[in-house]
Amino acid sequence: MTAATIEADLTRLESDQSRRDDYIRTRGLETNTYGTATFTLAAPISLPADLPAGQPFELAAVGDLTIHGVTERVELAAAGAVDGTVIDVAGG
């Protein structure tokens, strides 16, 4: 993969306590003001040369993460597997 941008709607974060949710909205992450987190890939992701179907593999995604109006370069670990012509990846 050579380009990707992932956006998360932080305004939808909920816990089991409304008091905690109010704190996140107004003070913690201030999701009322900074409602979106964004990760933009900064370098291509290299996949293993031979990806057998169903065989899990690990990779790293380097990119710019923006949370609360601040952007930092980060490296996110991820795991994936090939399912036919689709590559499923999860991480964080």
- The domain made up of 5-91 is a member of CATH 3.30.70.270: no
Query: In the structure, how many helices (H) and strands (E) does the chain have?
Result: 1, 5
Q: How far apart are CA 5 and CA 58, in angstroms?
A: 20
The pLDDT of residue 5? 95
Domain extent listing, the chain: 5-91
Q: How far apart are CA 56 and CA 44, in angstroms?
A: 19
Read off the pLDDT of residues 9-27 as tens digits, 9 standing for 90 and up: 999 999 999 999 999 999 9
CA-angle at 18, arms to 14 and 24, nearest 5°: 60
Read off the pLDDT of residues 18-53 as tens digits, 9 standing for 90 and up: 999 999 999 989 999 999 999 999 999 887 777 777
pTM for the predicted model, two decimal places: 0.79
